[in-house]
Amino acid sequence: MKPSIPKGTRDFSSTEVAKRNYIFSTIKHSFENFGFQPIETPSFENSSTLMGKYGEEGDRLIFKILNSGDYLSKVDDNILTEKNSQKLISKISEKALRYDLTVPFARYVVQHQNDITFPFKRYQIQPVWRADRPQKGRFREFYQCDADVVGSKSLWQEVEFVQLYDTVFSKLGLSGTTIKINNRKILSGIAEVIGAKDKLIDFTVALDKLDKIGKEGVVKEMLSKGITEEAIKKVDPLFDFSGTNTDKLASLEGMLQGSDEGLKGVEELRFINNSITELGLTSASLEIDVTLARGLNYYTGAIYEVSAPKGVKMGSIGGGGRYDDLTGIFGLKDVSGVGISFGLDRIYLVMEELNLFETVELPKPKVLFLNFNENESLEKVKAIRVLRENNIKSELYPDTATSNKQQKKQWKYVTNRGIEFVVTDVENDTFVLKNMINSEQTTCSLDELITKVQ
Nearest to its own copies of 197, 408 (CB atom): 408
Q: Is 420 in the site for its own copies (CB under 8 A)?
A: no
CA distance 432 to 423: 6
Among 223, 393, 411, 436, binds its own copies (CB under 8 A): 393
Which parts of 99-138 interact with its own copies (CB under 8 A)?
A: 107-108, 110-112, 115, 117, 119, 121-122, 127, 129, 131
Part in contact with its own copies (CB under 8 A); list of ranges 196-204, 294-302, 395-403, 424-432: 395-403
Residue 287 main-chain phi, psi, to 5 deg: -135, 120
**Given strand 394-396, what is the order of strands in its sheet?**
394-396, 367-369, 421-427, 430-435, 441-444
On whether the CB atoms of residues 225 and 297 are closer than 8 A, the answer is no
Among 78, 135, 404, 416, binds its own copies (CB under 8 A): 416
Shortest Å distance, C-beta 125 to its own copies:
10
Nearest to its own copies of 66, 213 (CB atom): 66
Shortest Å distance, C-beta 3 to its own copies:
5
Residues 6+ apart with CB under 8 A from 208: 291
Among 58, 100, 141, 250, binds its own copies (CB under 8 A): 141
Torsion of CA 198, 204, 205, 210, to 10 degrees: 150
Centroid of chain to Cα 4: 26
Shortest Å distance, C-beta 70 to its own copies:
5
On whether the CB atoms of residues 97 and 129 are closer than 8 A, the answer is yes
Shortest Å distance, C-beta 351 to its own copies:
18
Q: Is 12 in the site for its own copies (CB under 8 A)?
A: yes
Q: Is 77 in the site for its own copies (CB under 8 A)?
A: yes
Which parts of 195-254 interact with its own copies (CB under 8 A)?
A: none
Residue 439, by phi and psi: left (phi above 0), alpha (psi -120 to 50) or beta? left
Q: Report the relative pairing of strands 441-444 and 302-307 from DSSP bridges.
A: unpaired
CA distance between the termini of the chain: 46
Nearest to its own copies of 76, 236 (CB atom): 76
Q: Is 65 in the site for its own copies (CB under 8 A)?
A: yes
Among 56, 57, 68, 313, binds its own copies (CB under 8 A): 68
Shortest Å distance, C-beta 210 to its own copies:
35
Which parts of 357-376 interact with its own copies (CB under 8 A)?
A: 363-365, 371
Among 52, 55, 90, 154, binds its own copies (CB under 8 A): 154
Shortest Å distance, C-beta 96 to its own copies:
9
Shortest Å distance, C-beta 234 to its own copies:
35
- Residues across the chain: 454
Residue 82, by phi and psi: left (phi above 0), alpha (psi -120 to 50) or beta? alpha
Q: Is 346 in the site for its own copies (CB under 8 A)?
A: no
Shortest Å distance, C-beta 190 to its own copies:
28
Nearest to its own copies of 92, 196 (CB atom): 92
Residue 361 main-chain phi, psi, to 5 deg: -80, 120
Q: Is 57 in the site for its own copies (CB under 8 A)?
A: no
Q: Is 432 in the site for its own copies (CB under 8 A)?
A: no
Shortest Å distance, C-beta 228 to its own copies:
42
Among 224, 246, 279, 440, binds its own copies (CB under 8 A): 279
Among 417, 432, 448, 452, binds its own copies (CB under 8 A): 417
On whether the CB atoms of residues 317 and 308 are closer than 8 A, the answer is yes
Among 52, 55, 72, 285, binds its own copies (CB under 8 A): 72
Residues 6+ apart with CB under 8 A from 152: 118, 119, 336
Among candidate residues 406, 410, 449, the one with its CA nearest the CA of residue 429? 449
Q: Is the peptide bond before 309 cis (omega within 30 degrees of 0)?
A: no
Calculate ∠ Cα 403-405-410, nearest 5°.
100
Q: Is 53 in the site for its own copies (CB under 8 A)?
A: no
3-state secondary structure 370-395: CCCCHHHHHHHHHHHHHHHHCCCCEE
Residue 181 main-chain phi, psi, to 5 deg: -135, 145
The size of the interface with its own copies (CB under 8 A), counted in residues, is 109
